[in-house]
Amino acid sequence: MNLKKTLICALALALVLCACGDSGQTAADAPYTLDDAQTLLDTGLFSEDMGKIADPYVISMLYHVDENAIQECVSYQATNTSESADEITVVVFSDEAAAASAEEGFQQRVADQIESLKDYAPAAIPHLEAAVIRRVDNTILLAVGDPDRIAEAVDNLR
């Protein structure tokens, strides 16, 4: 009888430990944070003159998203658009559905930039064509920078 109780207790303990363990979300699956934008900025893969925007209204206008769905946001953008279209933007939305519907707005932002800068700032086009847009849970990250290294820099965040 003691052996049976011991086995039941061991099994119960194993189940408790399994329930307290891994949530199933890996670092690669974790949402982006506003700190990730600063981490990318610090890589040096972007224009030296980057201005910061943290106003949800401005972000909603630039990325064609619902301002009311934005919880937090930050964007660093090249201040001299005649030379660069570099930008880093992270937006935390109210939920995953809002982020999913906003993703198209980020793609439209890049397409609009390509169209408006193709004659005005042709050197910026390779950067825009290599833009990285990633959505994880309720967050979206957009990075436009050094076309040869930007994807790897974003991957290294995870």
The radius of gyration computed from the CA coordinates of the chain, to the nearest angstrom, equals: 21
Distances (CA, A) of 78 to 27, 73, 106, 126, 157: 29, 17, 17, 15, 21
pLDDT category of residue 60 using cuts at 50, 70 and 90: very high
For 69-88, what is each residue's pLDDT tens digit? 999 999 999 998 888 999 99
CB 155 within 8 A of CB 36: no
Residue 4 has pLDDT above 70, yes or no: no
pTM of this structure: 0.81
Domain ranges of the chain: 30-155
Amino acid identity of residue 80, one-letter, is: N
What's the rounded mean pLDDT across residues 115-136? 95
pLDDT mean across residues, the chain: 86
pLDDT digits (tens, 9 = 90+) for 133-144: 999 999 999 999
Q: Residues with Cβ < 8 Å from 98, sequence gap 6 or more?
A: 66, 69, 138
pLDDT at 81: 80
Instruction: Find the mean pLDDT for residues 56-75.
Output: 97
What pLDDT, on a 0 to 100 scale, did the predictor assign at position 22?
41
